[in-house]
Amino acid sequence: MSSSPKNDLEDIPLHVIHLDQDDPKKCSARRLSKNGHVILHKRTRGAPRRGFLLDPSSGILMGPDDLRTISRGGAIVALDCSWKKLEESLDSISKYTKLEGRTLPVLLAANPISWGKPGRLSTAEAFASSLHILGRKEQARRILSCLPYGETFLELNRVPLDAYAEAETNEELANLQWEFFDKPL
């Protein structure tokens, strides 16, 4: 029995542009870096040149249409900054990188700061969601294992995450999220 080709590949490279705007004790990106799951960059110019920037305002979903870039060595990059300074931080990042912006379909946060809020994911939750959607469920589980709420996040979002991972196109994924969550007006 052969497994899915999505799961036979090496881990997707994960990078964080870290702007030091949040409480270090609550920072999931620092914890992921400490545990060897991501590469932390203090400056934008150190980020990878090819891949995707997780950007909740991009309007383009991370999904199956992105597998080609990922299979060619593309990275997933997160911007770790305060939600209050997101727009200005994204503006500065877009000046220095050619990463393609991607957002995630709706999921519920399990982190203690934004618990239960749709779309208010920590950096670790955003990475895990991306990985799960791209068929890298084991890598997603591994990175969340260093967080006290990691398993809770996966359980809270198990049904939508599994459905999102089965979508064959980004368009299908976009429509699928409204089967689990209310569509904004």
Kindly report, residue by residue over 162-173, the tens digit of the pLDDT: 999 999 999 999
pLDDT one-digit tens code per residue, 7-49: 445 899 999 988 776 666 778 888 998 999 999 988 777 788 8
Residue 59 resides in a domain: yes
| Domain membership flag for residue 1 | no
Confidence of residue 153 (pLDDT cuts 50, 70, 90): very high
Say if 134 falls within a structural domain: yes
**How much is the mean pLDDT over the chain?**
87
Output the pLDDT for position 97: 74
Q: Tell which phi-psi region holds residue 21, choosing left (phi > 0), alpha (psi between -120 and 50) or beta.
A: alpha
User: Can you tell me the distance from the alpha carbon of 40 to that of 38, in angstroms, rounded to the nearest whole number?
Assistant: 6
- pLDDT tens column, 54-85: 988 889 999 999 999 999 999 999 987 766 66
Rounded Cα gap, residues 29 and 31, in angstroms? 5
CA distance 53 to 89: 12
Provide the pLDDT for residue 147: 94
The answer as to whether 57 is a domain residue is: yes
Q: Provide the pLDDT confidence category of residue 101 given band limits of 50, 70 and 90.
A: very high
Q: Domain count of the chain?
A: 1
Q: Determine the structural domain holding residue 149 and report its residue range.
A: 12-179
- Which token pair is 52? 């995707």
Whole-structure pTM value: 0.87
165 vs 136: CA distance, rounded Å: 9
* Type and span of the H or E element at 100: strand 100-102
Element (H, E) at 140: helix 137-144
In a domain, 3, yes or no: no
- Residue 34 included in any domain: yes
- Out of 63-72, 74-83, 117-126, 134-143, least confident range: 74-83
102 in a structural domain: yes
Query: What would the two tokens of residue 112 be?
Result: 């203690």
Bridge partner list, 103: 61
Domain presence at residue 7: no
